[in-house]
Amino acid sequence: MHDHNGFPRTAKIVVAGGFGVGKTTMVSAISEIEPLTTEAPLTQTSATVDDLTGVNGKTTTTVALDFGRLTLDDSLTLYLFGTPGQHRFWNSWNHIVIGAVGAIVLIDTRRPTDCFAAIDFFESRSVPFVVAINDFDGLSLYDTEAVRDALDVDPETPIIRCDARSKAACRHALLTLVDHAIQTERAYLGG
């Protein structure tokens, strides 16, 4: 379904990033419905596979996806799909991204290299994305331009600060992404 301007009335958004960066937290914070999560307990066996550096208090992990919904206004509803962060679950990303208008790549500046795979994934598929620095616990190690330089993303790619626990901050991130996706589509169409 499309509105009178030709824009979709619903949009699929992917929330991605490294292990333990806050994807489930973001989907849960912003969803207007009880989010569907596929959290499973971290086990002793997974501790030998998953790097828990910087996320030592983490006890669960997403094994398939997180799902939530947010109605922005009468003309647009966003469906949110959070990806699993560990490498062994990345094969599901190809299915999750089908039909997505864009993505939010969450990063933890204590572990910035954890987001490289997500950035490469969306760039290689020409999916518009924004980078959201998850400022949980008031942790702000680097400014946005330092992050841009470190990640080597295009100048047009928005980089914003976001506390994944805050509904207002998550809404701002989603609105930034929707605006970026519309601008990217217009540029692609030559308008």
pLDDT digits (tens, 9 = 90+) for 112-133: 888 999 999 999 999 999 999 9
- pTM here is 0.80
pLDDT digits (tens, 9 = 90+) for 176-187: 999 999 999 888
Backbone angles phi, psi at 81, to 5 degrees: -125, 110
Superfamily the domain 10-189 falls into: P-loop containing nucleotide triphosphate hydrolases (3.40.50.300)
What's the pLDDT at 5?
Answer: 61
